[in-house]
Amino acid sequence: MDQRHVRTVFWEDHQVKLIDQRVLPHRFEIAAFDTVEGVARAIREMYVRGAPAIGATAAFGMALAARISPATTPEALLADLRRAKEVLDAARPTAVNLSWATARLLELAQALADADPDTLRQALLDEAQALADEDVEINRRMGFHGARVIPSKANLLHHCNTGRLATVDFGTALGVVYACQELGKEIHVWVDETRPRLQGARLTAWELMQAEVPMHLIADNAAGHLMRTGQVDVVIFGADRVAANGDVANKIGTYKLAVVARENGIPVYCVAPTSTVDLSLPDGDHIPIEERDATEVTHVQGTAVAPEGAPAYNPAFDVTPHRYITGIVTEEGICYPPFTESLRDAVERGRQRVAENRRRRLARLLGTEKGQT
Ligand code: MRU
């Protein structure tokens, strides 16, 4: 199997299949899930992680819920889908792509409430597949928008994993790196190891080495030194949720990078699809921050590094206030301050694009006039 051509999440044999990111880079394994609870567990236990990949997984989880539901009426099927949405949404709190994706599937089901259950099941699977395909297409667009702000020869500092493993394929911030590579730019990436779960050391290093992008892995604590000594041209990362004012929740440690970058006059770009923008929240203080098990801090890959019983605290994300962010790269273009306006416009264009694609798909499935949901 050519590992580079396997999507992070896909539907096969009536199951949701995921690259098991818990065991990378040492083993490449595909895990299969055939219950909604199983899909929720896969998100919670981080078989799959990264905001867009979590969204696509949840979308397939909704399609799975419809498929395994014994419902014979649209009302009963809708009730099962509402329950599935609750189970999936509860898996992780910070990445808004999760509830964005389940809401998108549920809205479609509600709009088709007069269709027979089997047509609805097919429409939901088509929608989940479309969401996954769109993710790849969106990431490529985002990557090439972002490449415009990267010099032809540059050292980038990157946090966590935002590549093909964090999305269905291609990536967000690492998508910019791949776009630069395709454009022939001379890029070198400083890869933050990203404690506690080491998404940088385990996943980003694996991806970049497979793609033959020049890189060095660094301890998280090395980032400030590299910035102060002129070895970083651009700081680049993804997002799990962007508030209406441009405040960005991303992997713990991002805030510290952005502040040190500002101190050293280095531009900071966040790369995130409009599905990661949550216009319902005025600022980052309203974003729920996931707290994960303390053993992720006291242990490294299952091995204890702290004295037994040491108390530990493990917030998984932090918020970077928008004043530290030079631009937010979306699939609709690069948003600059004032973010309240630029993000609102980008989200609106993104919504219109999704609605138009869905209208065309439904017209094919149901006949032209019913495509107008
Ligand atoms: O806890 P994780 O690994 O799900 O956190 C992922 C991140 O913080 C990513 O930077 C973010 O989801 C953007 S990925 C395209």
Q: Residue 372: what pLDDT?
A: 53
The ranges of the chain annotated as CATH 1.20.120.420 are: 3-139+351-366
Atom 6 of ligand 1, residue of closest alpha carbon: 50
DSSP 90-133: TS-SS-THHHHHHHHHHHHHHHTTTS-HHHHHHHHHHHHHHHHH
* Pocket residue to mutate for ligand 1, from 168, 178, 199, most atoms within 8 A of Cβ: 199
Q: What is the mean pLDDT of residues 24-31?
A: 98
Q: Examine the pLDDT at 366 and tell me if it is beyond 60.
A: yes
Give the pTM.
0.96
* CB of residue 162 inside a 6 A radius of ligand 1: yes
26: Cα within 13 Å, side-chain hemisphere: 3
* CB of residue 166 inside a 6 A radius of ligand 1: yes
Q: Residue 227: what pLDDT?
A: 98
Q: Residue 172: what pLDDT?
A: 98
Taking only the tens place, the pLDDT of each residue in 251-282 is 999 999 999 999 999 999 999 999 999 999 99
Q: Which helix (H) or strand (E) holds 40?
A: helix 36-44
With b for 16 or more beta-carbon neighbours within 10 A and e for fewer, the 239-267 pattern comes to: bbbbbbbbbbbbbbbbbbbbebbbeeebb
Taking only the tens place, the pLDDT of each residue in 288-332 is 999 999 999 999 989 999 999 999 999 999 999 999 999 999 999
Q: Examine the pLDDT at 371 and tell me if it is beyond 60.
A: no
* Pocket residue to mutate for ligand 1, from 160, 289, 318, most atoms within 8 A of Cβ: 160
* CB of residue 240 inside a 6 A radius of ligand 1: yes
Chain centroid, CA 155 distance in Å: 24
At the top level of CATH, the class of 144-350 is alpha beta
Looking at residue 249, the DSSP 8-state letter turns out to be: E
Token pair of 39 as six digits = 């899909």
Q: How much of the chain, in percent, has pLDDT values that exceed 70?
A: 98
Across the chain, mean pLDDT equals 96
Q: What is the mean pLDDT of residues 186-196?
A: 98
Looking at residue 315, the DSSP 8-state letter turns out to be: B
* CB of residue 49 inside a 6 A radius of ligand 1: yes
Token pair of 322 as six digits = 């928008």
Gap between the Cα atoms of 91 and 16, Å rounded: 16
Q: Residue 365: what pLDDT?
A: 78
Q: Examine the pLDDT at 368 and tell me if it is beyond 80.
A: no
- The number of the ligand 1 atom at minimal distance from the alpha carbon of 199 is 3
Q: Examine the pLDDT at 180 and tell me if it is beyond 80.
A: yes
Q: Residue 207: what pLDDT?
A: 98
Q: Examine the pLDDT at 77 and tell me if it is beyond 60.
A: yes
Q: At the topology level of CATH, where does 3-139+351-366 sit?
A: Four Helix Bundle (Hemerythrin (Met), subunit A) (1.20.120)
Taking only the tens place, the pLDDT of each residue in 218-238 is 999 999 999 999 999 999 999
User: pLDDT tier at 100 (50, 70, 90 boundaries)?
Assistant: very high
User: pLDDT tier at 364 (50, 70, 90 boundaries)?
Assistant: confident
Q: What is the mean pLDDT of residues 97-102?
A: 98
Q: Residue 150: what pLDDT?
A: 98
- The number of the ligand 1 atom at minimal distance from the alpha carbon of 50 is 12
Span from the CA of 316 to the centroid of ligand 1 (angstroms):
10
Gap between the Cα atoms of 81 and 127, Å rounded: 14
The ranges of the chain annotated as CATH 3.40.50.10470 are: 144-350
Q: What is the mean pLDDT of residues 333-340?
A: 98
Q: Which helix (H) or strand (E) holds 296?
A: helix 295-298
User: pLDDT tier at 369 (50, 70, 90 boundaries)?
Assistant: very low
Q: Which residues have a Cβ under 8 Å from the Cβ of 101 and sit 6 or more positions away?
A: 55, 56, 58, 59, 62, 131, 275
